[in-house]
Amino acid sequence: MRKFINVPSRLYLAGTLAVGLFLNSCSFFDKAPANEDPDQGLNVNVVEPVKRDYADIKENGVLRMITRYSSNTYFLHQGLEWGFEYEFVNKFADQHDLALEVVVIGPDENPYDLLNSGEGDIIAANYTRTPERKKYVEFTRPYNLVNQLLVFSENIPNAPQTIEEIAKQEIPITVRRNSSYYYRLQELKAEGIDLSINLVSNKKDTESLLYEISNGQYLATVADDNIYQASNKYMQGIKKGPVIAKNDTIAWAIRKNAPNLKTELNRFLYDHFRFGGPNESPKRSTFLNVLRKRYFKEGPHIANYYNPETNMLGGGVISPYDDLIKSVADSAGIDWLLVASIIAQETKFNPNAKSWAGAVGLMQVLPRYSEISSEEMLYDEEINLREGVRIIKEHLNHYSYMDSTDKWSFALAAYNAGQGHVADARRLVIDQNRDPNEWKNVSDALLKLMQRKYYKDARYGFCRGIETVRYVEEIKNRYNIYQTILTLNKESERNAGPGVLGIF
């Protein structure tokens, strides 16, 4: 099991752009390192994929999605996960009763290596199906068609209207070597159009390049039209140029030896995207159209919430309650990011939430287990936080003899299901001659307590163990997300000064 108390060695995130990722990527990945050759293609190291198909994913109960941090793939807004790719893949996961974890591609990581090594199961990052990519991965059926278009800086007063004019004016077009745009530009060069191509680090993404175009660092780049539409809503200084490729197919990438996963994904995608007849637009489901409108089309756009020029008042890096959570958690000697992760899981930072079971407030405190007699008082953010932290602290103390990872796993399980059900699971583990202090064993036992042959003899009876196991794993994974966001925020402040990253 991956440790979650220490800062992860790689950007490993679960299923749920941090504020200003495009800004952060400009400071984080400003130029290709001197020892890096931009002309190194996909630079794949893992070519033999691990054996993990749909049956293995179902048995494990977790689908791992590899993606980039960007406004159209995956990002955080007030501590919660958003993004076109995230919501679309999550829809598939929900229909197949799978938890979704997100693996964000780190600055020194290769998405194809992450996929083939088993770190993730599906690359969902607005990827075009290209011949070079097909050497290493299998693609699903498409779920979108996009046009590649040139994007110019407004520093070019009279932007060229054709690709030939660009070549004549010798305007350098800045792209990544591993992008589909590079291959299209090479095709145009092969057709006799003498284009000037400026290669930059493969660590950059399209959105960060667009931002650099907007502030005049480069003069031109290439983007898919949907990414341009999304970015144009919150970036100033970019303008659209001519289309250089039409109807590129966008699809998810999976391992070549996962035919059953491909079948399930294709069935799902067929319900949401189908090609029309000649001269007809593709047919999309209502759900897919809603996502397209939310992230790419006209009307209120999610990007409005993280426009870097917007002055967000009363917020923090993770949530609107960062300072309060830090104060309460620090006084109890608890990591405040774990408390924030619990709140995100319980109520999505809604202080007025009330569950069907009567749990109230940010941390869903049950009045009957609280030292505060008034339910109304438990809706006060600080009071609720102090009660929730007190309860989780008691659970931590109860399991204090365990190592840090297991201790937190058991405490979270007890916070969700109660110590009684956790104790039943531990007794079941002992009956099986296994270690009751290891979370992996107890999580397996919690799943068994959903079966009558096991819960009929349990002291506290039936337990919806799958919910508790997912609760624990999702909080731990969200904790990793929040650690990464803080790391990016500190890096951004060092490079660009305070205020660059703020709350979505």
Would you say 160 and 241 are in contact if contact means Cβ atoms under 8 Å apart?
yes
Per-residue confidence (pLDDT) for residue 21, from 0 to 100: 40
User: What is the rounded CA–CA span in Å between residue 70 and residue 388?
Assistant: 33
Would you say 204 and 182 are in contact if contact means Cβ atoms under 8 Å apart?
no
* Partner residues linked to 221 by β-bridges: 151, 174
Per-residue confidence (pLDDT) for residue 494, from 0 to 100: 59
Q: Which of 264, 346, 387, 474 is catalytic?
A: 346
What averages of pLDDT result for each successive group of 10 residues across the chain (504 residues)?
33 36 36 42 88 94 88 74 92 93 81 94 93 93 93 86 90 90 92 92 82 90 89 84 92 97 97 85 92 73 42 59 94 95 91 89 89 88 94 95 93 94 96 95 94 90 90 88 73 49 34
pTM of the predicted structure, to 2 decimals:
0.69
Query: What secondary structure letter does DSSP report for 313?
Result: -
Residue at 114: amino acid letter: L
Per-residue confidence (pLDDT) for residue 189, from 0 to 100: 93
Per-residue confidence (pLDDT) for residue 279, from 0 to 100: 75
* Total number of residues shown for the chain: 504
Backbone angles phi, psi at 221, to 5 degrees: -150, -175
CB-based burial label for 55 (10 Å; 0-12, 13-18, 19+): exposed
Structure tokens that stand for 457 in this block: 């003899």
Q: Residue 346 catalytic?
A: yes
Per-residue confidence (pLDDT) for residue 172, from 0 to 100: 94
Q: All domains of the chain, ordered by start, with CATH?
A: 21-140+251-311 (3.40.190.10), 146-249 (3.40.190.10), 322-476 (1.10.530.10)
Listing DSSP states for 227-239 in one string gives: HHHHHTTT-SSEE
